[in-house]
Structure 1
Amino acid sequence: MRTVLRLLGTRYGVALVLVVLVLMVVVLGRTVLDNGDGNSANDAVGPTVAPVPTSANPYSSLGDDGVEESVAPAPSLSKGAADASTVATRFAKAWLRKPGITGEQWRAGLKPDASTDLLASLADTDPADVPTATITGPMQLQANGGTTVAKFPAEGGTIVLGLQVSGGRWQVISLDWETA
């Protein structure tokens, strides 16, 4: 016993005691914080719940309450403002290649329905470089959150327009050409 006490008085003995104490605290902490199912306190609190399938929903027999949660609210338009479909169609028709039209005339036709940023990006565009002169099918309109995308099938590809409500009216904010 004297040998043990003499060993504890040295720095090696003190280090050994500290290591034993740290190990005891770690083991005790894991034991106390273990909630019995192998999950520690750092894991998610409470049981894991799987989503309930619609057919097993106990409230499904109550009927539809008429609220559609996945539908984004419609943007606020000024009274008499054209809808997205009308704006997209006007812009697409004005954008088409028309022989003999000047750049100024072409941009003037786009101006009523284009954002100022889009008009600025088209400032140096030659209307003769527009890749198509004909829309060949009906437009497809797709809402994407706060924006709407209009796609027009055309000779040689697809005209893709991004639209957004600004100042109470729909404006074309982006233009893309997808080749066929």
Structure 2
Amino acid sequence: MPIRSPRGRVDAYRSLWQWPLRSPVRLAITGVVVVALAVGAGVAAGALRGTSDDGPMSRSTATGGSATPGPSGRSSTGAGGTALPTALPPVTPLVPSTLPLSQAPPAALRVAAGWSAAWVDHPDGITSEQWLAGLRPLTTDEYLGVLANVDPANVPAARVTGAPRPVNVAPRSVRVEVPTDALTLIVLVVDTEDGWRVAGYDRA
């Protein structure tokens, strides 16, 4: 029947939409084509929207006089010729504050001396618990947990041989040098809510 007749056109349309249903392969091909067309249409619509958005933005930049940072940190000119500062004010570097050694708190020196005396006090047969008991009143809770892993038998010194001497003084901490018969301790004493306490030590 000729395609120009209404019946012929109906048969032609029926054959077109029935074509994908005649096999799974044809159905898959049809689905891919439909998805590709939808993606292409979305990309084209997005490109058109981006082009239309660029226009007003470019015009406002050209005529609105919005501030733009200068390349050398100088002020840029805004609407009406008003200068807009873009350079940040200088920042003062943070330097740890130190005090003269003569301003070391006597209480901090006493704690360093008492802690060192307890540190070297480890007669034969002393347990870790007994050794820590002597250090506990003069030690921060955090550092006491570190000392719990120390075997007092491994402490090389047996007695303190001199007076404590400050080597670094800050508003809330003092490093104190304490000589012993085996080495010189550098004891860190810090100001806590419970008073001055030892928060660490090193060997000079």
TM-score (norm 1): 0.51
Q: Distance in 1 between matches of 2:169 and 2:142?
A: 20
Other-structure match for 1:55: none
Contact 2:109 2:165 in 1 (8 A): no
Aligned residue for 2:149? Answer: 124
The runs of 5 or more residues in structure 2 that have no matched partner are 1-97
CA RMSD of aligned residues (A): 2.5
Alignment correspondent of 1:159: 185
Aligned match for 1:111, one of 136, 142, 145: 136
User: Is residue 88 of structure 1 aligned with residue 112 of structure 2?
Assistant: yes
Map of 2:196 onto structure 1: 170
Distance 1:91 1:166, change over 3 A: same
SS of equivalent to 1:141: strand
Q: Percent of counterpart pairs with the same letter?
A: 31
Deviation string 1:104-151 (CA, Å, 9 cap, x unpaired) is: 000011000101111111111111111100212221123432310111
Deviations 1:69-105 (Å, cap 9, x if unpaired)?
x858x89x9xxxx811211111111000422211000
What amino acid does structure 2 have at the position aligned with 1:165?
D
Task: Give 2:160's aligned residue.
Answer: 135
> Across the two proteins, how many residue pairs are aligned to each other?
103
Letter in 1 for 2:154: D
Scaled by the length of structure 2, what TM-score is found?
0.45
Aligned to 1:124, the other structure's residue is in SS state: coil
Unaligned runs of 5+ in 1: 1-69
Cα pair distance change 1:105/1:164, threshold 3 Å: same
Match of 1:101 in 2: 126
SS at match of 1:93: helix
- Runs of 4+ off more than 2 Å: none
* Larger relative contact order (CA 8 Å, sep ≥ 6): 1
SS of alignment partner, residue 83 of structure 1:
helix
Structure 2: how far apart are the matches of 1:120 and 1:163? Answer: 16
Question: Matched residues in 1 for 2:161 and 2:178: separation?
Answer: 8
Contact 1:97 1:130 in 2 (8 A): no
Q: Which structure: greater helix fraction?
A: 2
Q: CA 1:71/1:175 → structure 2, altered by over 3 Å: closer, same or farther?
A: closer
Cα distance between partner residues in 2 of 1:71 and 1:173: 19
